[in-house]
Each structure stands twice: as structure tokens, then as C-alpha cells.
Amino acid sequence: MEKAFAGKVALVTGGSRGIGQACVEALAKGGAEVVFTYRHNETAAEQTTAAAKAHGGRVIPLKCDSADTAQVNQTVEQVIATFEQLDILVLNAGITKDQYLMLMSEEEFAQVLDTNLVGAFRFAKAACRPMMTRRAGTIITVSSVAALFGIAGQTNYCASKGGLVAFTQAMAAELSPKGIRVNAVAPGFIETDMTARMPRKIKLEAKQRILAGRFGTPQEVAGVVAFLASDAAEYIIGQTLVVDGGLTSTVA
């Protein structure tokens, strides 16, 4: 997929670490001009920028909180002002606040949904208008296998990721007549900061259920995102591609 995105502009939310960082690098390697957002970690944002720039093209980090509508609108406006177009939107920004339901506060539940689901809505709403004007573009949401089966202690996260799948399907129905393709990716257990914090026992148990026998890499997820963003996937609309090493096929 070398230089598949030449002349295109991509915006990746939550692009400073993990899956988001891998998406930034994959799109930059494909020739896209890439803007990515981050919330707090400026060091990680600088590292992502340097790594992606090594592939050529422009890479711009923008500090933005997906839970802040004004910041989201300003970010999209800045992309359009700089490049006069937006071709690819990857909605990856997300947080976790794990807790068992009986102990979870309403604030913890709402914060996860506000960033993961409502944040995706904010960016999609801001980005769809310039895409509709050009009658071209693709939006890819990063959901999770947590949308497909329940995980104890993650009612807020599962609800947000399940909502993303439904949101993706509804956007596809609404926007495809305007020339905008919308799809989702649902990663399983991926080697990120989030899984690094998991207890060793839980990780071993999870690997036993994964047919591939290991956790995936951010680059493997980014490869699927890049495929969905490419012209090779133009007949794929409203789908959720699961990238989990066969995990969900073993879940009853």
C-alpha cells in the first residue's frame, strides 16, 4: 500500500500512543499529510511526529480533548484551513475507567462515554460537512471486541464501544449517499499501555483463548485501518472488521 494516500489528508484522534500512533505512521508511510490529536502527553506526541515524519510528508500534532466540543471544532477547522480538505478521519481517541458496576460512579460511566462515543460524534459531525462538500472521504471508528461480548468491570467501556459500532452503521447509512464511506475496526487484546497494566494472570488466561496464541500489535490494527482508508476497500461500507487473533470465535 506504498503511497496509496498521496495527495490525501488524514486526521487521527488520540494519535500519540498505541494504535493511534501506529495509524499515524501507516498513513504517513502511505503518503498522506497527517494531523493527529493528543490530550496531555507532549513527549509522546513529539516522538510520534518524529517517527511519522521519517516516512516523508507533513505530520502535525494538535492538542485536543475529544470531550470538548469547542476544541474539536477548532481542530477540524485548523485542518481545513491548512490543507483545504480532509479525506480520512480515524476516530481512535478513548479512555478507560474500569470499575465494577456496584462501585462505579455516574461520573466514571459518563466520562468514558463522553470521550469514547460522544467524542467520536463531535469529530464526525465537524468533519462530515467538508467531506460532503467534496463528496468524498472515509471515516473509520476504532471500536473494540468489548463491543461484542461483555467484560466484567468495564460496563462503561463496553457501552461506549458497542455504541461506536451502532454509530458507525448509522453514519454509513446516512453518509454513503454523499460519497463518504464509514467503517469500524474492533481490535482484541493489543500490546499497548492499557494491556501492559493488566495483571499477568489475566493476560495468560486471555492468550489461552486467542487462536493466534498472542496479543496483537498496534501495527497489525493500523494495517487494517489503512486498508479501510484505501481505494482497495471502496466496496466495504458500514462494516466492523474484527482484529483479534481469533478471540471472538472462542467466546461462547
pLDDT greater than 80 at residue 252: no
Q: What is the pLDDT of residue 3?
A: 87
Residues 66-101 have pLDDT tens digits of 999 999 999 999 999 999 999 999 999 999 999 999
Q: What is the pLDDT of residue 1?
A: 43
Report the percent of the chain where pLDDT is more than 70. Answer: 98
Q: What is the pTM of this model?
A: 0.95
pLDDT greater than 90 at residue 112: yes
Task: Tell me if residue 4 falls in helix, strand or coil.
Answer: coil
Residues 44-63 have pLDDT tens digits of 999 999 999 998 879 999 99
For the chain, the distance separating the N- and C-terminal CA atoms, rounded to the nearest angstrom, is: 36
The answer to whether 153 touches 100, Cβ cutoff 8 Å, is yes
Helix axes 119-134, 69-83, angle to 10 degrees: 30
> What count of residues does the chain have?
252
Mean pLDDT of the chain: 94
136 by Cβ neighbours in 10 Å (0-12 / 13-18 / 19+) ranks as: middle
Q: How far apart are CA 150 and CA 144, in angstroms?
A: 11
The answer to whether 93 touches 143, Cβ cutoff 8 Å, is no
Q: How far apart are CA 135 and CA 156, in angstroms?
A: 35
Task: Tell me if residue 54 falls in helix, strand or coil.
Answer: coil
Q: What is the pLDDT of residue 203?
A: 78
Report the percent of the chain where pLDDT is more than 90. Answer: 85
Q: What is the pLDDT of residue 2?
A: 58
Residues 160-177 have pLDDT tens digits of 999 999 999 999 999 999
What dihedral angle (degrees, nearest 10) is formed by the CA atoms of 145, 146, 151, 155? 180
38 labelled catalytic: no
Number of DSSP helices (H) and strands (E) in the chain, helices first: 9, 7
Q: How far apart are CA 97 and CA 223, in angstroms?
A: 28
